[in-house]
Copies of this chain bind each other. A is one copy, B any other.
């Protein structure tokens, strides 16, 4: 790629303000870079299951093992948040190439009594450790206990944090030093609001030290 042909365009604060709502949403959602493609499974106290795609899953800490996600208070995804508060658990299921269209479809505004599993052709799977449903078709998936939520003053968005209590990973994806080769499980990534991408490993790099140049792990 020739960077000289990449004429940069500057978009000001005013330009952003003047954008039509959906245009601005598409633009700002693209800025944060590539995102996690995850299906969050939950259940209410009546046993009604729910499944929703999120691109905001993020690592919070390893000890204790904490993963979070951002929930908009005014979205169809509020069923997820309500269920998590009700039954104190949820699952996160990686999206791979064969199920990304089903995963995307979970974002449609189905009524509360419709399970997105059934509506989108995905299958519930249960473990003995927690109540919330997993996605059978997903290859890397984990169960979480709800531990904390934070409302962000600036826009009412809610950061939800869970503690990882069990993990399912294809054996061949586990590296000896603890890392998981998520690309080898077909896990994909999202950009913006609607773009799905597969990945290609460039390299793994050694832990960075000031006195050494960056080096590829063999």
Contact = CB atoms under 8 A, between A and B. Distances in A.
B170 A210 contact: no
B97 A170 contact: no
15 contacts: A6-B139, A10-B166, A10-B167, A16-B164, A24-B63, A27-B179, A28-B61, A33-B94, A35-B35, A64-B155, A100-B202, A105-B208, A179-B195, A193-B207, A195-B204
- For this complex, into which size category does the number of interface residues on chain A fall? 35 or more
Interface stretch (A41-49, A81-89, A106-114): A106-114
A120 to B, nearest CB: 8
Given A61-B155, A194-B205, 13 more contacts: A11-B169, A12-B129, A16-B164, A21-B63, A31-B167, A33-B57, A34-B35, A35-B59, A58-B70, A66-B154, A110-B210, A194-B204, A195-B201
A123 to B, nearest CB: 13
- Chain A's interface: helix, strand, loop or mixed, by majority? mixed
Nearest to A137: B3
Given A9-B168, A33-B94, A166-B10, A179 B202 contact: no
Copies of this chain present:
2
A21 B186 CA distance: 27
Interface of A: 1, 3, 6-13, 16, 19-38, 55-67, 70, 92, 94, 97-98, 100-102, 104-110, 114, 119, 129, 137, 139-140, 142, 147-148, 150, 152-155, 157, 159, 161, 164-172, 174-175, 177-183, 185-189, 191-210, 212-214, 217
